[in-house]
Chain A
């Protein structure tokens, strides 16, 4: 049985530019174009794609927040969106009152909320403060309570937006458990996420969107891989900071490549795997006592990590004129699964100014490898702290 059917759905947005004096121009773009897909009953489907690919529009169309421009969407059963609606909270009301408020905004009946009230409060972990106005809540409590209400929606079809980033690790685990519960209960689910790791883990099928169209649909692993290639090949040069690029012309970084042990270029690696990279530099005149750095940026533009070459084989170095390739290796790459943009720079240790700065639109895709929680993986190993327990376990074997 089909629970969700998109039948040739398109959505056009109009963007207005200019003021009355300069003359108004209207620009239109299709956020979603001729989209056709079905979701079967009980299926968990992930929707991935880079920003602007049309994922959120799909979500908005499904939840009726906005109407399609053409086509039709058929839904079989009650649909609810698992989104954090702490924004629907009223600061003067107590936590308990706000559960009723946001519950009914999400479409629950009062009776239903009353029945689930205890469970919702327990799930959120704010039980002690539930009769206190939420304006005195910490932001974490606020968000957790808002999310708990959503997590207890009863729906045949559940939309899950990028919400699982809510709360601390313990709360996130609880959320994943809750989603597993709903999934086992036969709820049809649509996941809309950037988090490739969890999409791959949770979904039966993944759909890839690009420029408002569906470009792939199939087994999570295959589609996620396809996405990674799409990202790696696409230019992200719109993020380039012109103020910093090509500072002096003394030396120019032409590329940063990641390599397999056998020397082939790669676009993806796994958390905890060894990483080998080459920075290609065209040097016009010598750069003395050079420092070369490689940066890893998250999608929201934060610098997550930087590898700095202060020395080669223990010696300060000079970049001599010509075409140079600087290679670095690290034993275990610590970044979490995700897509990272790559940047690189050259400077002289003495001078503060950059010789060159490069942002060529390269991305490094990191796939789930060594399982980690938290923000990064650090190479490590375990051993017994004392000899006697080592001996005992050896015997037990």
Chain B
């Protein structure tokens, strides 16, 4: 029989291993809730899952029209539509995940005040749902590449660790914002603006090479810069990702994620009182 000791919040929140062990006990809930998110996301929409395809495609068309046709943005020789899409795919994943995960605690107030489960499950399920949309968007990407006669290379396998990094970074940001949102609802209000600014601060509409060299290192402190440009390197150029941006992204994320998780767990113990 399992014995559990419940102690004050101030003790034990640093025990990362305990948190993860408990999270593993709840894997069924993560699965069920994630399936549920995917299941209901497009319920009662006429187009259904087609929206997962349409969203990035429409963004691509708009971006191409505005930034390529009107603003003549450089695209390192690739067709701008494809150039934009390869960045929009990871970016959309990041922004929708962070957007919905930040509100995930506040929108589930009834659950949080009534039932216990590790609260990080709520943001995590939005991450999984975002991954589902990403997968559909990726199939569309394959179609686009075929259309523009850009070949996939063996380098494509490098995408797996890059995407893992993307997920990890998205989770880190989601955990911090979601926990902070419980106390300060300002976060939710400011979020759309924050994400907009963040997008312009990442090489989504322009190439990383457009940036002056002396700002580069500071710029790369934003892991989305390394992640987005690595996706482009792999898919468009067919080369291994540039090691400097990727390594920067990796270091920042490796530091941020455990800290974010601990911050979240510290906040968790009083969440039900504040929400």
Are B32 and A104 in contact, with the CB atoms below 8 A? yes
Contact partners of B166 in chain A: CB under 8 A: none
**How many angstroms from the CA of A76 to the CA of B9 in the assembled complex?**
20
Q: Is B112 an interface residue (CB 8 A)?
A: yes
The segment out of B142-150, B157-165, B267-275 that lies at the interface is: B267-275
**How many angstroms from the CA of A166 to the CA of B273 in the assembled complex?**
26
- Which A residues between 101 and 116 are near B, CB-CB below 8 angstroms? 101, 104-110
Contact partners of B33 in chain A: CB under 8 A: 101, 104-105
Contact partners of A109 in chain B: CB under 8 A: 28
Kindly provide the distance from the CB of A216 to the nearest chain B CB, expressed in whole angstroms.
24
Contact partners of B111 in chain A: CB under 8 A: 85, 87-88, 105
Are A101 and B5 in contact, with the CB atoms below 8 A? no
Q: Number of contacting residues on A, CB 8 A?
A: 40
Q: Mark B1-20, 1 if CB is under 8 A from A, else 0.
A: 11111111100000000000
Contact partners of B29 in chain A: CB under 8 A: 104-105, 107
Are A105 and B117 in contact, with the CB atoms below 8 A? yes
Q: Is A176 an interface residue (CB 8 A)?
A: no
Beyond A67-B7, A73-B6, A75-B4, whether A110 also contacts B116 by CB under 8 A is no
| Complex: chain B residue closest to A89, CB-CB | B110
- Which B residues between 125 and 160 are near A, CB-CB below 8 angstroms? none
Q: Mark A150-162, 1 if CB is under 8 A from B, else 0.
A: 0000001000000
Kindly provide the distance from the CB of B85 to the nearest chain A CB, expressed in whole angstroms.
31
Of B36, B43, B112, which is in contact with the most chain A CB atoms at under 10 Å from its CB?
B36
Are B5 and A67 in contact, with the CB atoms below 8 A? no
Beyond A87-B110, A110-B31, A110-B32, whether A60 also contacts B272 by CB under 8 A is yes
Contact partners of A87 in chain B: CB under 8 A: 110-111, 114
Q: Is A29 an interface residue (CB 8 A)?
A: no
**How many angstroms from the CA of A61 to the CA of B8 in the assembled complex?**
10
Kindly provide the distance from the CB of B143 to the nearest chain A CB, expressed in whole angstroms.
30
Q: Is A68 an interface residue (CB 8 A)?
A: yes
**How many angstroms from the CA of A70 to the CA of B11 in the assembled complex?**
10
Contact partners of A32 in chain B: CB under 8 A: none
Contact partners of A110 in chain B: CB under 8 A: 28, 31-32
Q: Is B197 an interface residue (CB 8 A)?
A: no
**How many angstroms from the CA of A126 to the CA of B82 in the assembled complex?**
52
**How many angstroms from the CA of A90 to the CA of B40 in the assembled complex?**
8
**How many angstroms from the CA of A75 to the CA of B116 in the assembled complex?**
15
Beyond A90-B40, A101-B32, whether A68 also contacts B6 by CB under 8 A is yes
Contact partners of A64 in chain B: CB under 8 A: 6, 116
Q: Is B115 an interface residue (CB 8 A)?
A: yes
Contact partners of B36 in chain A: CB under 8 A: 90, 93, 97, 101
Q: Contact residues of B with A, CB < 8 Å?
A: 1-9, 26, 28-29, 31-33, 36, 39-40, 43-44, 110-117, 269-270, 272-273
Contact partners of B269 in chain A: CB under 8 A: 66-67
Kindly provide the distance from the CB of A111 to the nearest chain B CB, expressed in whole angstroms.
8
Of B32, B39, B43, which is in contact with the most chain A CB atoms at under 10 Å from its CB?
B32
| Complex: chain A residue closest to B26, CB-CB | A107
Are A73 and B115 in contact, with the CB atoms below 8 A? no
Contact partners of A101 in chain B: CB under 8 A: 32-33, 36
**How many angstroms from the CA of A109 to the CA of B32 in the assembled complex?**
10
Q: Is A249 an interface residue (CB 8 A)?
A: no
Sorted from nearest, which 6 A-B pairs have the closest CB atoms? Answer: A67-B269, A87-B110, A64-B116, A73-B6, A104-B32, A67-B9
Contact partners of A68 in chain B: CB under 8 A: 6-8
- Which A residues between 51 and 84 are near B, CB-CB below 8 angstroms? 60-79, 81, 83
Are B3 and A75 in contact, with the CB atoms below 8 A? yes
- 14 inter-chain pairs at a CB distance below 8 angstroms, sorted by A residue, are A60-B272, A65-B113, A67-B270, A71-B8, A72-B5, A75-B5, A85-B115, A93-B36, A93-B40, A97-B36, A101-B36, A104-B28, A105-B33, A107-B29
Q: Is A92 an interface residue (CB 8 A)?
A: yes
Given contacts A65-B112, A66-B269, 10 further A-B contacts (CB under 8 A): A65-B114, A67-B7, A69-B8, A72-B6, A74-B4, A87-B111, A88-B115, A105-B33, A108-B28, A110-B32
Q: Return the contact of B110 from the options A74, A88, A97, A100 (Cβ within 8 A).
A: A88
| Complex: chain A residue closest to B36, CB-CB | A101
Contact partners of B32 in chain A: CB under 8 A: 100-101, 104, 110
Contact partners of A78 in chain B: CB under 8 A: 2
Of A62, A67, A69, A110, which is in contact with the most chain B CB atoms at under 10 Å from its CB?
A67
| Complex: chain B residue closest to A112, CB-CB | B28
Q: Is A37 an interface residue (CB 8 A)?
A: no
**How many angstroms from the CA of A74 to the CA of B32 in the assembled complex?**
29
Q: Is A136 an interface residue (CB 8 A)?
A: no
**How many angstroms from the CA of A110 to the CA of B26 in the assembled complex?**
11
Kindly provide the distance from the CB of A75 to the nearest chain B CB, expressed in whole angstroms.
4
**How many angstroms from the CA of A101 to the CA of B116 in the assembled complex?**
14
Contact partners of B9 in chain A: CB under 8 A: 67
**How many angstroms from the CA of A76 to the CA of B29 in the assembled complex?**
23
Are B115 and A81 in contact, with the CB atoms below 8 A? yes
Are B8 and A75 in contact, with the CB atoms below 8 A? no
Are A61 and B6 in contact, with the CB atoms below 8 A? yes
| Complex: chain B residue closest to A64, CB-CB | B116
**How many angstroms from the CA of A219 to the CA of B4 in the assembled complex?**
28
Of A13, A61, A104, A156, which is in contact with the most chain B CB atoms at under 10 Å from its CB?
A104
